[in-house]
Amino acid sequence: MSDTPPLPAFSTWPSFPFEGDFRVKKLDDPVAVEPDRRGEGDRECLSCQTPDDAYIWVGERWRVRAMDRPSGLPMVLILETRSHYDLGDLPNLLAAELGVMTVRLERAIRSLDGVARVHVNRWGDGSAHLHLWFLARPYGRLQLRGTFLSLWDDILPPISEQRWRQSLAMVAAWLADFEGRPVAEPPRIEWQAPASFASRDAAAATDRAREADRAREAEAAGERGAWTDAGVTGSESSQNALPEPAESGPEVRIPAQRAGLADDPVDPVDPESVSPDRGAGLPDRASGYTAPTPRSEG
């Protein structure tokens, strides 16, 4: 009969990150005295010795730091007290501020694109200096829900460093709106490289449009050349060209009045030949009165 205990029920949960054949490890015997954590006894505290430049945001009593490189989750941050305290040793002021800082940092991380939830964890078995973990769960990744999110962080492929640094700067700026000083800065733009905010599809569409314009210009130039070879030059066209005068036919004379030539003599108008309708607006020779011309509405 095997002494190995059966697998727990959570091994069948959708959020459990492993599959296959597993067996539970055998428990070690308990120790009589637990070893000192970092920051206890003779062991030095790394948090107390770390300068502010290693954090993304620093305040008078709190500091926030990140990992040294991107991981699989959108964001993983650690909230620490500046002074060397553990959770149960916090004075009342820091104990009250811990709730404020927890809510503030959770909101800052949740404001990032692609973040659905923020898990807040405190273990404290490695360091005696108080530190709370903030782990962001990606939106839509329902398989990552629950207690195994920290395991998935080491399994998922890391996010891009540019996105990671940009998110760090946004969280730092969010916290700095209340107090403290942001240390993390957004990634610098590489001016010599193509702009990353322009999609490749848009650039390809622009190139295709330019090629189409050049093709149309070349086609139009070919048509103009064909017209020139046919005898049409400049801006002249066959529609605007005047016909050559006929070699024979009756001569047509245009009266000077209709031609608008002021230098030519104008024949006097016979009053008897003017009809009453056509006489509207002509001066009355006897009285000098001019009948008004009817005005159209509008």
Q: Is there a contact between 144 and 136 (Cβ–Cβ < 8 Å)?
A: no
- Residue 259 parent element (H or E): helix 256-259
Given a cut of 90, whether residue 140 has pLDDT beyond it is yes
Provide the pLDDT confidence category of residue 228 given band limits of 50, 70 and 90: very low
298 has a pLDDT exceeding 50 = no
Pairing of strands 62-66, 76-81: antiparallel
Question: Taking residues 126-141, what's their average pLDDT?
Answer: 97
Mean local confidence (pLDDT), 182-198: 71
Please check whether residue 131 is in contact with residue 78, taking contact to mean a CB–CB distance below 8 angstroms: yes
Question: Cα–Cα distance between 202 and 178 in angstroms, integer?
Answer: 40
Please state the pTM of the whole predicted model.
0.62
Helix, strand, coil share of the chain (percent; to 5): 30, 10, 55
pLDDT of the residue at 107: 97
Q: What is the pLDDT of residues 121-130, one digit of tens each?
A: 999 999 999 9
Q: pLDDT tens digits, residue range 51-77?
A: 999 999 999 999 999 999 999 999 999
Residue 37 CB partners (closer than 8 Å, separation 6+): 43, 124, 125, 126, 127, 128
Residue 212 reports pLDDT greater than 70:
yes
Longest dimension (CA), the chain: 144
pLDDT at 198 over 60: no
Average pLDDT over residues 263-286: 45
State percent of the chain over pLDDT 90: 53
Q: Is 115 helix (H, G, I), strand (E, B) or coil?
A: strand
Contact 88, 111 (CB under 8 A): no
Q: How far apart are CA 160 and CA 134, in angstroms?
A: 19
